[in-house]
C-alpha cells in the first residue's frame, strides 16, 4: 500500500490501443478486453484534463471494478469449458489483480480523487491488462483452434 503514497507524480501518457495481437479468438472475451482498455484510457484522459471531478472518478471506478469481476468470471468459465491449460494460472492472476484493486479502492475512499493515486492505479492497470492478455489470455487461441 505504501507504494501508492511514495509514488512521485510524472506526466506520462499511457494510452493502450487494442489490436489483433490481443485477439484471443473468443469474440466476447475480445470485446470485453476492448471495453476494459477503453475504461483505463478514459481514466488517463481524465488525468490529462484536470481538474478531476469526484463524481466522474467515482462512476468510472465503480463501473471498472464491476466490469472486471464480470469479465474475469466469464473468461474463467470460457477457459474451463475449453479445457484451457492456463485456467488455474489465469484464475490466480485474476484474484491477485482484484486484491490490488481492492487495496486501491480503500486508498481512494480515504484520499478521494487524488491525481498521484489515480495515476499510479491507471499505470498499474494498463500494464497489468496488457501483459496479462499477452501472456495468459492468449492461451485461449490454441484452445479455440482445437475445437
- Structure-block grid coordinates of residue 33: 478486453
C-alpha span between 57 and 61 (Å, rounded): 6
By CB under 5 A, how many residues form the interface with Fe ion? Answer: 3
**Residue pair 24/59 in contact by the 8 Å Cβ criterion:** no
Is 30 near Fe ion (CB under 5 A)? no
Is 32 near Fe ion (CB under 5 A)? no
Q: How far is the CB of 146 from Fe ion (least distance, A)?
A: 19
C-alpha span between 39 and 125 (Å, rounded): 10
How far lies 144's CA from each of 71, 81, 102, 126, 137, in Å? 18, 11, 32, 26, 12
Q: How far is the CB of 94 from Fe ion (least distance, A)?
A: 6
Q: How far is the CB of 57 from Fe ion (least distance, A)?
A: 25
Q: Which of 90, 118, 119, 120 binds Fe ion (CB under 5 A)?
A: 90
Is 24 near Fe ion (CB under 5 A)? no
**Site residues (CB under 5 A) for Fe ion?**
75, 90, 137
Amino acid at each position: 500500500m505504501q507504494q501508492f503514497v511514495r509514488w512521485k507524480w510524472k506526466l506520462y501518457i499511457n494510452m493502450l490501443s487494442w489490436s489483433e495481437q490481443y485477439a484471443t479468438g473468443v469474440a466476447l472475451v475480445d470485446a470485453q478486453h476492448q471495453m476494459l482498455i477503453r475504461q483505463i484510457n478514459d481514466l488517463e484522459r481524465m488525468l490529462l484534463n484536470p481538474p478531476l471531478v469526484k463524481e466522474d472518478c467515482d462512476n468510472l471506478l465503480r463501473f471498472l471494478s464491476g466490469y472486471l469481476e464480470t469479465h474475469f468470471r466469464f473468461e474463467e468459465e470460457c477457459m474451463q469449458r475449453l479445457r484451457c491449460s492456463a485456467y488455474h494460472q489465469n484464475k490466480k492472476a485474476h484474484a491477485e489483480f482484484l486484491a490490488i484493486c481492492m487495496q486501491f479502492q480503500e486508498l481512494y475512499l480515504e484520499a478521494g480523487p487524488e491525481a498521484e493515486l489515480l495515476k499510479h492505479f491507471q499505470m498499474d492497470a494498463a500494464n497489468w491488462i496488457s501483459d496479462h492478455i499477452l501472456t495468459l489470455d492468449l492461451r485461449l487461441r490454441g484452445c479455440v483452434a482445437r475445437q
